[in-house]
Chain A
Amino acid sequence: MGAPVSSVSSVSSIEAVFREEHGRLLAALVRRFGDLDLAEEVTSEAIEVALARWPVEGVPPKPGAWLMTTARRRAVDRLRRDQVLATRLAVLQVEADRAAPAPSPAETDAELPDERLQLFFTCSHPALPAEDRAALTLRCLGGLTTPEVARAFLVPPATMAKRIVRAKKKIREARIPFRVPAPDELPERLPGVLQVVYSIFTEGYAASSGPDLQRLDLAEEAIRLTRILHRLLPAEREVTGLLALLLLIHARRDARTGPDGEPVLLDDQDRTRWDRAMIDEGTALVPPSLTGGPPGPYGVQAAIAALHDEAADLPSTDWAQIVALYDVLRQLAPSPVVSLNRAAAVAMRDGPEAGLALLDELAGEPLLRAYHPYPAARADLLHRLGRVDEAREAYQRAIELAGSEADRQLLRRKLDALA
């Protein structure tokens, strides 16, 4: 057998290296060769070579640089063999690469340029179908395989493969550029990138279908991607705000489901099971996301989440401040759901009657008509006002509208508790 396997080359640490390096490698190769398919192929080839050698020889001191050199050599080899591909690509750049001396050993991981930001903007380009953007981001930047991405979105692998091929074809043939938008374009394009990461997170936070209420791997991947964005765009306050928001929500993950996998609402959660370290990290990110300019919707939502997370229990939550923050949010990103949440906060601050009055004002909102949290919130306030018959009716309406079985069960228990 080969040399003894050193402790650093344990399979899990090798996998961690791949996970971290995959997006960086891919982004740098796309930048150099301008072809996502070629970059993907040589990235996975380099990882295969590493998988065969590292467990035997140990992980090299600069794993990122090692992978990059291996992948780049393979790409150049492939272009030499494939003239058609070579002419289709940026020939000059490839020629320059061929002529360049072998990468010096001094090339450290730290010196490798991080081009992942370009890949974020390419994967979430508005010219791509919205449904493909999150999938492509997970595939290219998360380093998930196509079957893993398919599992994440609960579609058959063949369907997902087709979608990813279609998206890559559009990037190549319509020539969607690999670039970071100029500062004046950033306000227009960044929200799209954040929306993609947020939608990956919400799919993990509240799976839209399937047996599990939460899909923690997906939520964690979204947080990892947001951390990368935050590292690359530290001055963008909405990136900071989004990272804070995701951490502050994810900190409650263990308390969000009961022993049988049923959802546990904020009111009933065991707050000792919240992740204090994650709350601290998220809370510390709130002030920088709100200062130095007008606040953005993610920063404000993070501030609301922080107030919830910091409270010892429901009554001692700072409802006055939460209502004030919802007022700000309503101006920045008005939506009936924001108004609904604000009404619930007002009910906590001023009593159920005040909250109910606000909810009734929203009765005509088409968006809330099929949204089960709306009748559920009404039912709760009606119950607190002792209007049991009306509460029962509202719970029944909420049960009809609820999408997941877990939600329906929770509502049924509340309905039963009325009698």
Chain B
Amino acid sequence: MKYMMLIQAAAGQTEPECTPADWMAYDKEVRDAGILVSGESLADLVTATTVRVDKEGKRTVTDGPFAETREVLGGFYVIDVPDLDVALDWAARCPGSRGGGSIVVRPVADFDA
């Protein structure tokens, strides 16, 4: 069963509690466990652009997502593990879950089933 782990970083955080080495170690663990489907780290939030199309088909392009929440999506993993508890264990080990960040775990819909 595939789960997406959305890595939410606490916005406005100046002193991250995890180092690049922590992330590299975690990334290696996920790969070595053979559960990695895909994963990416996103570029800084200021580089984000939002597109909306209204009923008339008019396109509106604006800067950034509306950062109304105190957390910003920093990256994601898709992992393939047997059940939610295993997915939650991997999420808990992710460096992004610490220091005010959080990991949202969502099952990937399986339309073949």
Question: Which residues in A have their C-beta under 8 angstroms from that of B83?
Answer: 175-177
Decide if A174 touches B85 in the complex (CB within 8 Å): no
Indicate whether A88 sits within 8 Å of B107 (C-beta atoms), given known contacts A177-B83, A179-B85.
no
Question: Which residues in A have their C-beta under 8 angstroms from that of B107?
Answer: 173-175
Of the candidates A87, A88, A174, the one whose C-beta lies within 8 Å of that of B84 is A174
Decide if A176 touches B84 in the complex (CB within 8 Å): yes
B81-100 Cβ-contact flags toward A at 8 Å (1 or 0): 01111001000000000000
A127 at the interface (CB under 8 A from B): yes
B45 at the interface (CB under 8 A from A): no
Question: Which residues in B have their C-beta under 8 angstroms from that of A177?
Answer: 82-85
- Shortest distance from the beta carbon of B43 to any chain A beta carbon, whole Å: 30
- Main secondary structure, interface of A, reads loop
Q: List A127-185 residues whose CB lies under 8 Å from chain B.
A: 127, 173-177, 179
Q: Bound complex: CA of A131 vs CA of B85, how far in Å?
A: 20
Interface size on A, residues (CB 8 A): 9
- Shortest distance from the beta carbon of A281 to any chain B beta carbon, whole Å: 36
Indicate whether A88 sits within 8 Å of B113 (C-beta atoms), given known contacts A174-B107, A176-B83, A177-B83.
yes
Report the number of A-B residue pairs with Cβ-Cβ less than 8 Å.
Answer: 20
| Identity of the chain B residue whose Cβ is nearest the Cβ of A176 in the assembled complex | B84
Question: Which residues in B have their C-beta under 8 angstroms from that of A175?
Answer: 1, 82-84, 107
Q: Bound complex: CA of A175 vs CA of B87, how far in Å?
A: 10
Decide if B85 touches A176 in the complex (CB within 8 Å): yes
Q: Bound complex: CA of A175 vs CA of B109, how far in Å?
A: 11
Q: List A65-96 residues whose CB lies under 8 Å from chain B.
A: 87-88
Q: Bound complex: CA of A92 vs CA of B48, how far in Å?
A: 47
A85-121 Cβ-contact flags toward B at 8 Å (1 or 0): 0011000000000000000000000000000000000
Q: Bound complex: CA of A26 vs CA of B88, how far in Å?
A: 26
Question: Which residues in A have their C-beta under 8 angstroms from that of B85?
Answer: 176-177, 179
- Shortest distance from the beta carbon of B102 to any chain A beta carbon, whole Å: 14
Q: List A289-324 residues whose CB lies under 8 Å from chain B.
A: none
Question: Which residues in B have their C-beta under 8 angstroms from that of A176?
Answer: 83-85
| Identity of the chain A residue whose Cβ is nearest the Cβ of B109 in the assembled complex | A173
Decide if A87 touches B88 in the complex (CB within 8 Å): no
Question: Which residues in A have their C-beta under 8 angstroms from that of B88?
Answer: 127
B49-78 Cβ-contact flags toward A at 8 Å (1 or 0): 000000000000000000000000000000
Q: Bound complex: CA of A179 vs CA of B82, how far in Å?
A: 12
Q: Bound complex: CA of A176 vs CA of B1, how far in Å?
A: 11
- Shortest distance from the beta carbon of B62 to any chain A beta carbon, whole Å: 33
| Identity of the chain B residue whose Cβ is nearest the Cβ of A189 in the assembled complex | B85
Q: Bound complex: CA of A174 vs CA of B83, how far in Å?
A: 8
| Identity of the chain B residue whose Cβ is nearest the Cβ of A178 in the assembled complex | B83
- Shortest distance from the beta carbon of B14 to any chain A beta carbon, whole Å: 30
Q: Bound complex: CA of A179 vs CA of B83, how far in Å?
A: 11
Q: Bound complex: CA of A175 vs CA of B85, how far in Å?
A: 9
| Identity of the chain B residue whose Cβ is nearest the Cβ of A181 in the assembled complex | B85
A-B contacts, 18 of them at CB < 8 A, read A87-B113, A88-B113, A127-B84, A127-B88, A173-B107, A174-B84, A174-B107, A175-B1, A175-B82, A175-B83, A175-B84, A175-B107, A176-B83, A176-B84, A176-B85, A177-B82, A177-B84, A177-B85
B contact residues vs A (CB 8 Å cutoff): 1, 82-85, 88, 107, 113
Question: Given A173-B107, A174-B107, A177-B85, list of 17 further CB < 8 A pairs?
Answer: A87-B113, A88-B113, A127-B84, A127-B88, A174-B84, A175-B1, A175-B82, A175-B83, A175-B84, A175-B107, A176-B83, A176-B84, A176-B85, A177-B82, A177-B83, A177-B84, A179-B85
Which 10 A-B pairs give the minimum distances between C-beta atoms?
Answer: A177-B83, A175-B83, A174-B107, A176-B84, A174-B84, A88-B113, A175-B1, A177-B85, A175-B84, A173-B107
